[in-house]
Amino acid sequence: MSIGGAVFSHLHVHTEYSMLDGLSRLEPLVARAADLGMNSLAITDHGGMYGAIDFYKIAKAAGIKPIIGCEMYVAPKSRHERNPNEKTPYHMTVLAKSNRGYQNLIKLVTKSHLEGFYYRPRVDREILEQYSEDLIIMSGCPSGEVPSLITQGRMDEARAAAGWYKEVFDDYYLEFMEHGDVPELPAINQGLMQLRSELDLPVVATNDSHYVLKEAAHLQDILICIHTNTNINDAKRMRMEESSYYLKSPEEMMALYPHMPEAVTNTQLVADMCEVEFDFTKQRLPEYAVPEGTTATEFLAKLCWDGFKTLLPDADQTYVERLKYELEVIKQTKFDNYFLVVWDISKFVRLRDIFFAVRGSAAASLVLYCLGVTDVDPMPYTLVFERFLNLERKEMPDIDMDFQDDRREEVINYCIDKYGREHVAQIITFGTMGAKGVLRDVGRALAMPYGDVDQVARMIPTKLGITLNEAKELNPEFQQAIDTDEAVKKLVETAEGLEGLIRHSSTHAAAVVISEEPLTDIVPLQRPSKNDENSMFTTTQYAMDPVAALGLLKMDFLGLVNLTVLAKSRDLIA
């Protein structure tokens, strides 16, 4: 959108993936940017890239250029130091300029979690210098390194820090903000102006967006109360005291900087520099190490025909034709390595005498039966192979494996030993605010008596995935309470504004990803538990659908207690 020749893009934007801090849901966020006439938009969530792939897809579909970024935390000294006096690292806005920049960004984010986590995932100058290529750096919010030093009156150190960033990064910008509830901002902006002049640094204007519309400011206040376990009656609570942290229009941004319009127009120059493209057609399957002189296709066929002779010595021609057909489909879909990886895991599991079973449509595969992965011959039951895999199917077939839950870790450790720690990870999942839970959360934030909130929450019918709107329809008593009690009405209306938002992350109960390339070239990683620094396991920051979209091999390794019971029962009576 042109405003007197000026163009603007938001480059500092928090979504719901800045958990319990950002309020912006991806689709309304992108839709609002389009409505405001913008042609690009960034995502810069706190310390992680959880929503990057979903954001990319939604933005592309809306005709908006997606800019992939992160608001990172920078350790004052080394990321390896754990100084109790340094619990609040600096903030810094980072954008990926290209696919190479994206790879460097995910390496920085991964290292911040795996090596630098201390209250926050932190990078330091050592790795910033190591992975500086094709990254655009902005000086950040008032908690950034340069702004913080300006606030403390340490101008020489601020100048030295800005000089270091300018020297290390090809694109370093001083980031200006205008928010009336931050008393130190005028002094910060004045200091940035001085550095701009002295060091000849370019400038950008951002708005630290945390919600889409101005009217949602009160909801973000409630969200922070939930995050910090405080309530709206606490005058000292953490909060954004004015309603300016929304997705402002280009006109509104230009009105903030009549004295420095280039800070606004430079945002579009930055946006134009950013070109990250994802290839969702590429498969990134791990390659099984087949014997020298043979291919994966040939080795898979040999294993199948050997198993065929052993398991089905009297099989007729229909079996032969079925096995040939399945092998041909696997060859054409290029899933040979996938089946070899599954065969290898099942072989390990059987050798270690771990109880396991294969679940779902995989039982329809004669190939898997001949490989010894499944125990069911699909032919007598006329199980349809095409339900499992066919030439028209674009995504990878699911071969879901269940193990006794007390030995599931052995299987994952085997995969790590076989394919390398950098090639295997568990997959993240996100918990959202459900109907009952959000009522209780909001009730605490509104400082309502526990008994009153509990009474309302108990009116929500017990139904999987129920929404507050559904509850109104299913329980007239709930609707009546809303209509007759102003406190209940405020509780429910506020809860509806937060319902469905991401509340926390955890590790998926079953999902594991195995990759041919190092995962840190493709996805950002973190620890499954922030407290376990010695764990061999890592977790992707992308959930199952984005992981699959990137062509990675997603497998279900589910631990089942009933298989453990069966294994122990057998041992007891053996």
Phi, psi values for residue 273, rounded to 5°: -75, -25
Strands 502-514 and 553-560 turn out to be antiparallel
pLDDT at 1: 40
Percentage of the residues of the chain whose pLDDT score is greater than 90:
94
Q: How confident is the model at residue 4 (pLDDT cuts 50, 70, 90)?
A: very low
Greatest Cα pair distance, the chain, in angstroms, is 88
Which DSSP state fits 447?
A: T
pLDDT at 530: 53
Q: Where in the chain is the domain with CATH 3.20.20.140?
A: 26-212+247-273
Q: Please compute the mean of the pLDDT values over residues 32-55 and round it to a whole number.
A: 97
Q: Residue 49 is encoded by which pair of tokens? A: 């890239």
pLDDT at 536: 76
- C-alpha span between 483 and 486 (Å, rounded): 8
Crossing angle between the packed helical segments 52-61 and 26-35, to the nearest 10 degrees? 40
Report whether 568 contacts 455 (CB < 8 A): no
On the question of pLDDT at 5 being above 50, the answer is no
Number of other residues whose CB lies within 10 A of the CB of residue 449? 10
Burial environment of residue 171 by CB neighbours within 10 A (0 to 12, 13 to 18, 19 or more):
buried
Q: Please compute the mean of the pLDDT values over residues 281-285 and round it to a whole number.
A: 91
3-state secondary structure of 416: helix
On the question of pLDDT at 272 being above 90, the answer is yes
- C-alpha span between 6 and 360 (Å, rounded): 56
In angstroms, what CA-CA distances link 72 with 31, 85, 524? 26, 20, 13
Calculate Rg over the CA atoms of the chain: 27
pLDDT at 7: 86
Query: Angle at Cα 206 formed by Cα 252 and Cα 268, nearest 5°?
Result: 85
pLDDT digits (tens, 9 = 90+) for 115-137: 999 999 999 999 999 999 999 99
DSSP assignment of 511-531: EEEE-SS-GGGTS-EE-SSTT
- C-alpha span between 405 and 354 (Å, rounded): 10
Q: Please compute the mean of the pLDDT values over residues 67-93 and round it to a whole number.
A: 94
pLDDT at 229: 96
The CATH code that applies to domain 26-212+247-273 is: 3.20.20.140
Burial environment of residue 362 by CB neighbours within 10 A (0 to 12, 13 to 18, 19 or more):
buried
**Helix boundaries (H) for 124-154:** 125-130, 145-151
Helices and strands: H and E segment counts in the chain: 22, 14
Per the prediction, the chain carries an average pLDDT of 95
**Helix boundaries (H) for 458-517:** 468-474, 476-484, 486-498
On the question of pLDDT at 474 being above 80, the answer is yes
Q: How confident is the model at residue 87 (pLDDT cuts 50, 70, 90)?
A: confident
